[in-house]
Amino acid sequence: MRKSLSENLVQAQGLVKTFGAFRALDGLDLHVAEGEVHGFLGPNGSGKSTTIRALLGQLRLNEGQADVFGLHPWRDSVEIHGRLAYVPGDTSLWPGLTGGECIDLLGGFQGSMDSQRRDELVERFELDPTKRARAYSKGNRQKVALVAALSCDVELFILDEPTSGLDPLMESVFQKVIAELNREGRTVLLSSHILAEVEALCDRVTIIRSGTTVSTGTLEELRSGTLTTVEATTGHRPAGLEGIDGVTDLQYEDHPHGVRIRLVATHAAMPQAVAAVTAAEPTDLVVRPPSLEQLFLEHYQESGPGVGAAEPAGGES
């Protein structure tokens, strides 16, 4: 499933970073393919920001291979930074500077800011650039960082919980802008806790826990390893459901108009199971895949690597 080396803008394998005795990253893998919006998920303290800071060359890795654009994050950091833009999760700005000055400061250092696009984004995010940074709320500080990064003409955007503190209106502006950038062929690495945002934007996701990659793949792939609930009311008992491999928890209940059926099926068993139910002339049929929340809760909480995952962490193709 993994794309070939040349197509991956970010390629990280077996990353280890320790702070004293604490292993913040413990063999983490992350692969971001060119042109995709890649979701990066994990509970608080699982190592998302540490990974991003290592990719930016702010931290030196103890072990593991990481490259961005095929370059070394620590050694070639400046060359790498010229081709990406970054938004930190908790943006701190220079208190005495105005928002506009902060944007231009970062744009000046980045070097590829498009000033027309900058003005357009200031407008779309409804930011007052003449206010001093110390007077901004958290959401407004975040907007400054977003405008500064998103108006740069770069190949890769690294966004670390970029929308924390944004109101729902601005959240939707953000999603639109990211979708536009993605259509232009730009790549985005998006660390986020907002699952609706991830679902709307991301082509693939990587889920980590305690510094290790738990699972990675498209949302469909993630779902495919999980169980789907099917509920139906049919005129008569469907034949052959018991014989399908992967159908479990089968329940029948008599009903005034026929039979009420409830079953749980794996991704692979779905077509056969639904076909069998359909053949029994259902008056209603509900197929319920697990919600994203359920999916992530499962991964965040206790599942070991591979459970419910499309692809074992770091597995080769």
User: Which residues of this chain interact with other proteins, rule CB under 8 A?
Assistant: 53, 56-60, 77-79, 81-82, 84-86, 88, 90-98, 100-111, 129-132, 134-135, 145, 158
DSSP-derived secondary structure letter, 45: T
- CA–chain centroid gap for 249, Å, is 32
Q: For residue 287, give both structure tokens.
A: 């197929």
Which of 39, 100 has the CB closer to other proteins?
A: 100
DSSP SS3 for 84: strand
Query: Nearest approach, Cβ of 128 to other proteins (angstroms)?
Result: 8
Token digits for 139? 């959401």
Burial of 317 (0-12, 13-18, 19+ CB in 10 A): exposed
CB of 282 to other proteins, least distance (A): 55
Largest CA distance in the chain: 74
How distant, in Å, are the alpha carbons of 48, 74, 189, 235, 259 from that of 85?
17, 16, 11, 59, 58
Minimum CB distance to other proteins, residue 180 (Å): 22
Tokens of 90: 């908790």
Give the span between the Cα atoms of 10 and 74, in whole angstroms.
14
Contacts 24+ apart (CB under 8 A), 145-149: 145/87, 145/88, 145/91, 145/93, 145/106, 146/87, 146/121, 146/174, 147/103, 147/118, 147/121, 147/122, 148/85, 148/87, 148/102, 148/103, 148/106, 148/107, 148/110, 148/113, 149/85, 149/86, 149/87, 149/106
Both tokens of 173, joined, read 């502006």
Alpha carbons 36 and 49: distance in angstroms, whole number: 20
Nearest to 66 by CA among 78, 85, 53: 53
